[in-house]
Amino acid sequence: MSDIKKRGLGRGLGALMPEAAGATKAPVTPRTYFSAGIEDLYPSPEQPRRRFDDTKLDELAESMKAHGVIVPLVVRPRSEGGYFLIAGERRWRAAQRAGLHAVPVVVQDVEESTAFERALVENLQRADLGPLEEAAAYQRMVDHLGYSHEHIAERIGKDRSTVANMVRLLKLPAPVRQLVDESRLSMGHARALLGLDEAAAIERAARTVVDRGLSVRATEALVKKARAPEKPAKPGPAKSASVRDLEERLTRSLGGPVKITEDAPGKSGRIEIRYMDLDHLERLLDRLL
């Protein structure tokens, strides 16, 4: 008995109750809902949103200080340890500002493509994405997942034309994309500007829109005017020899250029007299009056 006590001393109850030969351990069920440490969570590489409003983060942090994190964050296992966020990066950032050390999480073991779709849909449902972030997310689904615009539209519940028009925004020059990011140009403005072909022309038009505070309709008119080829001025009817002779005589007589324009040959018209300076004007007035 003393030998058993010596062997078991300090080794816990398991030392006194050795497993039977051939016995198997019960499988460990992975946790799917628990409180995870802030440091164990990582931003997802699939996160389509790149900009987070500091003011709104501060407001959410203050709410968390009072009420905690009400809605759990959705995460997936990370091969290096910890978890990637699928949904809830904004809450995770706000929790750090609030000084929280742990947040509730729901674990979903999903593939990268599924995680990206869920992150995209969550942001779209919350209207959290800017136009260019949304456009970049669609393009990434095309490039990395091999999705067509039609397939993307089916997955997120939008029209194919909507997806295609969003992706076209990525063709804007970088300075114009910056104006869209800063909300100085709307989605409607950006789509109208894409009616121009050259990057330089798009930038010039965008600056005009911002400087003048033009509406979307006015922007469309600006683009239409820029695209329209300039019509050459129609040459006037040839002047008769008698009209040209009269122009020359009046020019010599009045000391300045005189132009005669006929509305119709042998009918009404007008005479244009140019004065060269104020002294010349006074001489003309003296003669005419």
Tell me which residues are annotated as active site: 89
What's the start-to-end Cα distance of the chain, in Å? 143
SS3 41: strand
Q: What angle do CA 21, 22, 24 make, to 5 degrees?
A: 120
Burial of 92 (0-12, 13-18, 19+ CB in 10 A): buried
Can you read off the two tokens belonging to residue 150? 């039609």
Q: How far is Cα of residue 242 from the mean position of the Cα atoms in its chain?
A: 66
Residues 101, 65 contacting (CB under 8 angstroms)? no
Handedness of CA 50, 55, 61, 66 (dihedral sign): negative
Q: What angle do CA 124, 216, 187 make, to 5 degrees?
A: 20
- Torsion angles phi and psi, residue 186, rounded to 5: -85, 175
